Amino acid sequence: MTARAVALAIVLCAGSVVAAAAEGGPGAKRVAPPAGSLRAGAARAAFRVPAGTPIAGYGSVRRRLLFPDVFGLRPYAFWFKPHEGELDPLGARALVLDDGRARLVWVAVDLVAVDRAFVTAARRRLEAAGVPPGALIVSASHTHSGPGAFVESGLMGIVATDRYEEAVRSALLDAVAEAARRADAGKVAAWAGVRVVQAPPLTRGRLGQPVDPDLVVLKLASPAGVPIALVWSYAIHGTMLGPRNLRYSGDVMGVASQELERRLRVPALFVNGATGDVSPRGHGQPAALAAGRALADAAQAAFSRAAPAPVRALALGTARVALPAPYVSVRNCLGRWVPRGLTLPLGRALPRDAELVAGALGGAAWVTVPGELQTRLGREVKEAARASGARGFVAGYSNDYLGYLLAAEDYPRVAYVACGSLYGPDAGALVTRAASALIRSVGAGAQR
């Protein structure tokens, strides 16, 4: 399927870029808050999932039960083994930003991914808790050692997360709501600044192409310089702890965030980047601990060098991208001996569109991608942000999960990442063009 055969629908929400939330009726005079009116709050809440919840992330036989639990012997685990304790605590970290015209609730969760239903449920839970989300971003860290059984998708359940259990998702949403409620209640006047540094060489390319070494830090602090929170972004798969591990862990990203919080004493929201062709170089718990500390060192250096300043505006925008019908290319999975036209249609197992959410403030701009964007495509998005005068980053695994999104020339490879690319050769370009246009728009809007 070619790009011309696919409708690309980008809908920029009316007034979503530096939106006026308190406008009057027709002809009313708009009174915008002055520059520097941003308020921000951040908080963390621990996951408290039911005992017996499975561990998600790998479809390997090492994680699976010998037989599915058809007799109901385990309360929450059906396909996968229950977890066996924890290596490090998991949870949700929330950041609330509000400049009087635009509002964003951003929640980073120690999960392998989230689906659209999880985000919808989170929005309802926040509204019930008295925390109107405005724009909502839920970013999964992509740890492969977090809880499962919380995703409604049957396909994702069989492959990586186990059968959906309402009690598990509800427990995770409790943490999301608690973190957001506390963050909202703790909002104070805030300035923002961004810094980009080169991370240590901790990753490698899966397709023989260069990886992205950028580590981006968005720093929130009070006008007096008291830290409020940091959002840090880096592209790495949460697979340093392999499928033999059955204890909960945030993997290398969780180690780094906890170390940053220990040092800086503010919530550290990790947002994964364009990781479609990126893997960690090392594996095992000692390697994860060492790499986590190295990432914390780099992020702390960026945090200390970032110079927060009054925020002119919090710019927000959304776009919706129509996608081809999803399918699995059997050739990409099994080998070149398979005819190219042999595919496994996925019908309604996955959505037929993708929603992107972008934001900008303090010289930084970001855009969500509901899946695993290839490095070269992520760099295109960053270049688009740079054209508007912002330092951009991709917020991967955010608000949904649609698999891998590759460049058309890399899609025909016989490789795991191509096997997991479920919308054909043009989907990566479709999402990248929409994300680039959107991040360029909000980046420019934040400067007005």
The predicted pLDDT at position 208 comes to 93
CA distances from 433 to 217, 393, 448 (A): 24, 15, 23
pLDDT for the residue numbered 312:
85
26 within a domain of the structure (yes/no) = no
- Determine contact, residues 164/37, Cβ cutoff 8 Å: no
Name the residue range of residue 91's domain: 11-20+36-445
Which regions in the chain score pLDDT beneath 70? 1-36, 448
Dist CA 109 CA 94 (whole Å)? 9
pLDDT value of residue 72: 86
Number of domain units in the chain: 1
Residue 217 lies in a domain: yes
Residue 308 maps to a domain: yes
Q: Is residue 25 part of a domain?
A: no
pLDDT value at position 12?
31
Residue 30 lies in a domain: no
What's the pLDDT score for residue 18? Answer: 32
pTM across the whole model: 0.91
| pLDDT at position 116 | 96
* pLDDT score, position 13: 34
- Give the Å distances, CA to CA, from 301 to 168, 194, 212, 304, 361: 37, 12, 18, 5, 20
Q: Is there a domain that residue 154 lies in?
A: yes
Looking at residue 257, its pLDDT comes to 98
Backbone angles phi, psi at 124, to 5 degrees: -65, -40
Residue 280, domain member (yes or no): yes
- Predicted pLDDT at 394: 98
The reported pLDDT for the residue numbered 73 is 87
**Predicted confidence (pLDDT) per residue in 333-373, tens digit:** 999 999 999 999 999 889 999 999 999 999 999 999 999 99
Side-chain-side CA neighbours of residue 16 (13 Å) = 22
Select from 268, 383, 382, 364 the least CA-distant residue to 312. 364
Residue 29 lies in a domain: no
Q: What is the pLDDT of residue 22?
A: 30
Spell out the SS3 assignment of the chain.
CCHHHCCCCCCCCCCCCCCCCCCCCCCCCCCCCCCCCCEEEEEEEECCCCCCCEEECCCCCCCECCCCCCCCCCCCCCCECECCCECCCCEEEEEEEECCCCEEEEEEECCCCCCHHHHHHHHHHHHHCCCCCEEEEEEECCECCEECCCCCCHHHHHHHHCCCCHHHHHHHHHHHHHHHHHHHHCCEECEEEEEEEECCCCEEECCCCCCCCEEEEEEEECCCCCEEEEEEEECCCECCCCCCCCCECCHHHHHHHHHHHHHHCCCEEEEECCCCCEEECCCCHHHHHHHHHHHHHHHHHHHHHCCCECCCCCEEEEEEEECCCCEEEHHHHHCCCCCCCCEEECCCCCCCEEEEEEEEECCEEEEEECCEECHHHHHHHHHHHHHCCCEEEEEECECCCCCEECCCCCCCCCCHHHHCCCCCCCHHHHHHHHHHHHHHHHHHHCCC
Q: Give the CA radius of gyration of the chain.
A: 21
Query: In sequence order, what are the residues at sequence separation of 6 or more whose Cβ sits closer than 8 angstroms to the Cβ of residue 409?
Result: none
Task: Give 404-408 contacts, CB < 8 A, sequence gap 24+.
Answer: 404/276, 404/371, 404/372, 404/374, 405/276, 405/369, 405/371, 405/372, 405/373, 405/374, 405/377, 405/431, 405/432, 406/276, 406/277, 406/374, 406/377, 407/374, 407/376, 407/377
